[in-house]
């Protein structure tokens, strides 16, 4: 089971996107768990669950460098969700982007 975890300020709007992404994963029988969390819980969540992909909501893109510095050594993709896809809550496109980044990461 792959873990794709989203982080934003409070985890509210990102929770909606995560549920849409999870629905797409289930429709395609993909062994992926998608969850959303507030950025304040990032350290604990990453330490406990070691997600395969870390996505940041556009509203916390300012955290990107800090997150890469802190967790980049794990070798998992870390990226900011496209603001257009986030705004339209396009779970399919965001999930595809995450899968693509995980495949690229594994190929290294």
Q: Tell me the residue range of the domain where 72 lies.
A: 2-107
Take residue 1 and report the two structure tokens written for it.
């089971």
Catalytic residue among 8, 54, 55, 60: 8
Largest interatomic CA distance in the chain: 35
Take residue 63 and report the two structure tokens written for it.
């955290």
Known catalytic membership, residue 8: yes
Indicate the SS3 state at residue 82.
coil
53-94 tens-digit pLDDT = 999 999 999 999 999 999 999 999 999 999 999 999 999 999
**Domain of residue 28, CATH code:** 3.40.50.2300
26-61 tens-digit pLDDT = 999 999 999 999 999 999 999 999 999 999 999 999
Q: Are 93 and 82 in contact (CB under 8 A)?
A: yes
Question: What is the domain count for the chain?
Answer: 1
Which one, of 66, 82, 63, lies nearest residue 9 by Cα? 63
* Total residues found in the chain within this entry: 108
Is residue 107 scored above 90 in pLDDT?
no
What pLDDT is recorded for position 10? 82
């Amino acid at each position: 089971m792959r873990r794709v975890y989203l982080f934003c300020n409070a985890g509210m709007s990102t929770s909606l996107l995560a549920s849409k992404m999870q629905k797409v994963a289930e429709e395609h029988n993909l062994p992926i768990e998608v969850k959303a969390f507030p950025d304040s819980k990032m350290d604990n969540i990453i330490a406990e669950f070691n997600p395969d992909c870390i996505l940041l909501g556009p509203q916390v893109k300012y955290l990107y460098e800090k997150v890469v510095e802190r967790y980049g050594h794990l070798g998992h993709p870390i990226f900011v969700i496209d603001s257009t896809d986030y705004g339209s809550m396009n779970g399919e496109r965001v999930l595809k982007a995450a899968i693509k980044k995980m495949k690229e990461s594994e190929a290294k």
